[in-house]
Amino acid sequence: MSDPQSVNNYDGPVFNGPASRNQFAWNNETVTQNQQNNSPVAPGYEALAALVADLLRQLPQAGLPDEQREDAEVAAGEVMATITRPEPPEEGRLRRALAALRGALAPVATGVVAGTTVGAQEWALRAIEGLTGAV
């Protein structure tokens, strides 16, 4: 006769290894999460860091669909990661990250995305303009 198989039922995420610097929301209807990266910004990129940080703060209130918001958050995170590295920022990597962030905001700026809040189109246009002159 064999031993009965052990079954574990978990009511939440289970991590079987390191999971540092991650954020999770579980079993809720709405959530706003913020994560601060307090690494020093490369000299000359302080204004860009402030612009991206402000964009990330305002992003949840823009009313973007989840996919567009997530794309913008990932691209903004890449910009911040590039300008807060110990070594000087790679210009090509930064240009690509900024292009991705502008691309994530473009459907809002052009009015293509339905469901955005009032003023989101103007906000996205201002953000894109600020990001355009960043590098």
**Beta-carbon contacts of residue 34 (< 8 Å; ≥ 6 apart):** 56, 57
- The Cβ of residue 106 has, within 10 Å, a number of other Cβ atoms equal to 15
pTM, to two decimals: 0.66
Helix (H) or strand (E) holding 71: helix 66-83
CA 48/CA 13 separation, integer angstroms? 35
**Enclosing H/E stretch for 123:** helix 120-132
pLDDT in tens, 28-70: 667 666 665 566 899 999 999 999 999 999 888 877 778 888 9
Q: Which residues lie closer than 8 Å to 30 by C-beta, 6 or more apart?
A: none
Contact 62, 125 (CB under 8 A): no
Q: What is the pLDDT of residues 85-120, one digit of tens each?
A: 988 999 999 999 999 999 988 888 887 776 666 688
The 10 Å Cβ neighbour count of residue 76 is: 24
User: What does DSSP assign to residue 35?
Assistant: -
